[in-house]
């Protein structure tokens, strides 16, 4: 079975033993409720390093009081079995007191790439993510850490934080794993009713259509408006954003046709009933 450790001391002891034996280590931070997208990160890490460590910690600091922290799906036994089947070497599953000891008072303060999109919709989110990921990177001392492009802005924020704080780790981005119909795999898809799950495919479909439109010379603003309208027609109750952005700094593109040489990324977040879905694609 994949070994489970719950303390930073045990985690460090194991990672240091591997490194002393000349084995490189990859970290895959997660919030559990694992699916094939998470396991694809483990498998990508295994192509680059000998040892893989997955962390499972539902991080209270990245949820606002009105968000779904209590309802977020949890299931350690199943997670451990899936990690075992993927050949993951270690599961780090700390409790909240191990991560945030009594009197905890330190939060990473971000500007720049964290500000638009998710940062605008969820003001506390990236500060909480950056704080826990920085802690995990310091705790585990991995050679590489793998994050999904599914959370594209998060990946860019983490690249920025590791560069700005000189954290000695290589950040690896992994492509988004999707269901057969194109919906990005997500732990939050478990919230969807059967009807909502059927409607959810409108999100990747609207994104593909918008990308095809701008590639054919359509104005960015027009393609974005058509995408939002398609989502609303499919039953999404609110679109937080459906934006073409620069792939590196996430600055706004448009409103006109894309200039040649642009590096566009389409990012979207929209509500289907009580579930907020996010996705993004290169364009």
Catalytic positions: 38
Name which of 110 and 155 has its Cβ closer to ligand AMP. Answer: 155
| 238 assigned binding-site residue | no
- Report if residue 264 touches ligand AMP, rule: CB under 6 A: no
Of 148, 168, 171, the closest CA to residue 158 belongs to 171
Name which of 139 and 186 has its Cβ closer to ligand AMP. Answer: 186
Q: Cα-Cα-Cα-Cα dihedral of 59, 79, 23, 95, to 10°? A: 40
> What are φ and ψ of residue 280, in 5° steps?
-160, 155
Select the span of 119-127, 144-152, 231-239, 252-260 touching ligand AMP (CB under 6 A): 144-152
Of 146, 280, 118, the closest CA to residue 206 belongs to 280
Contacts 24+ apart (CB under 8 A), 189-198: 189/275, 189/277, 190/33, 190/73, 191/68, 191/71, 191/273, 191/274, 191/275, 192/272, 192/273, 192/275, 193/273, 196/235, 196/272, 196/273, 196/275
- Report if residue 147 touches ligand AMP, rule: CB under 6 A: yes
Say how many residues make up the chain.
283
Exactly one of 138, 167, 185, 234 binds ligand AMP (CB under 6 A); that residue is 185
- Report if residue 151 touches ligand AMP, rule: CB under 6 A: yes
Exactly one of 40, 55, 162, 275 binds ligand AMP (CB under 6 A); that residue is 40
Name which of 243 and 279 has its Cβ closer to ligand AMP. Answer: 279
Q: How far is the CB of 22 from ligand AMP (least distance, A)?
A: 27
Residue nearest to ligand AMP (CB): 148
Tokens representing residue 95 in the block: 């409790």
Residues in contact with ligand AMP, total (CB under 6 A)? 17
- Report if residue 184 touches ligand AMP, rule: CB under 6 A: yes
Name which of 185 and 262 has its Cβ closer to ligand AMP. Answer: 185
| 33 assigned binding-site residue | yes
Select the span of 6-14, 102-110, 173-181, 255-263 touching ligand AMP (CB under 6 A): 173-181
Exactly one of 187, 189, 275, 280 binds ligand AMP (CB under 6 A); that residue is 187
Name which of 88 and 174 has its Cβ closer to ligand AMP. Answer: 174
For residues 259 and 256, what is the distance between their CA atoms, to the nearest angstrom? 8
Do residues 138 and 162 lie in contact, with contact meaning Cβ atoms separated by under 8 Å?
no
Strand locations in the chain, DSSP E? 3-5, 25-30, 51-56, 90-92, 144-148, 170-174, 238-246, 264-272, 275-282
Question: Going edge to edge, which strands form the sheet with 238-246?
Answer: 238-246, 264-272, 275-282
| 185 assigned binding-site residue | yes
Q: Which residues have a Cβ under 8 Å from the Cβ of 80 and sit 6 or more positions away?
A: 1, 2, 4, 91
Exactly one of 53, 113, 174, 253 binds ligand AMP (CB under 6 A); that residue is 174
- Report if residue 179 touches ligand AMP, rule: CB under 6 A: no
Binding residue ranges: 31-38, 62, 148-151, 154, 177, 185-188
Residues in touch with ligand AMP (CB under 6 A): 30-31, 37-38, 40-41, 147-148, 150-151, 174, 176-177, 184-187
Numbered residues of the known binding site for beta-alanine: 62
């Amino acid at each position: 079975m994949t070994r489970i450790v719950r303390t930073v001391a045990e985690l460090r002891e194991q990672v240091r033993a591997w490194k002393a034996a000349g084995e490189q280590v990859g970290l895959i931070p997660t919030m559990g409720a694992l699916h094939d997208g998470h396991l694809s990160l483990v498998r990508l890490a295994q192509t680059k390093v000998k040892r893989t460590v997955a962390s499972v910690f539902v991080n209270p600091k990245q949820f606002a009081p009105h968000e779904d922290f209590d309802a977020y799906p949890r299931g350690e036994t199943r997670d451990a079995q899936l990690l075992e089947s993927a050949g993951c070497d270690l599961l780090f599953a700390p409790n909240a007191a191990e991560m945030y000891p009594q009197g905890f008072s330190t939060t990473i303060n971000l500007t720049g790439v964290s500000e638009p999109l998710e940062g605008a919709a969820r003001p506390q989110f990236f500060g909480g993510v950056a704080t826990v990921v920085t802690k995990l990177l310091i705790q585990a001392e991995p050679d590489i850490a793998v994050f999904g492009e599914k959370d594209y802005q998060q990946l860019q924020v983490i690249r920025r934080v590791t560069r700005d704080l000189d954290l000695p780790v290589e950040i690896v981005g992994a492509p988004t794993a999707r269901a057969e119909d194109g919906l990005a795999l997500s732990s939050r898809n478990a919230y969807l009713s059967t009807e909502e799950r059927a409607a959810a495919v409108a999100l990747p479909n609207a994104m593909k259509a918008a990308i095809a439109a701008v590639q054919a010379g359509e104005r960015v603003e027009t393609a974005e408006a058509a995408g939002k309208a398609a989502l609303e027609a499919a039953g999404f109750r609110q679109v937080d954003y459906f934006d073409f952005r620069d792939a590196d700094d996430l600055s706004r593109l448009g409103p006109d046709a894309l200039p040649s040489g642009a590096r566009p990324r389409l990012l979207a977040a929209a509500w289907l009933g009580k579930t907020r879905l996010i996705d993004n694609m290169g364009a």
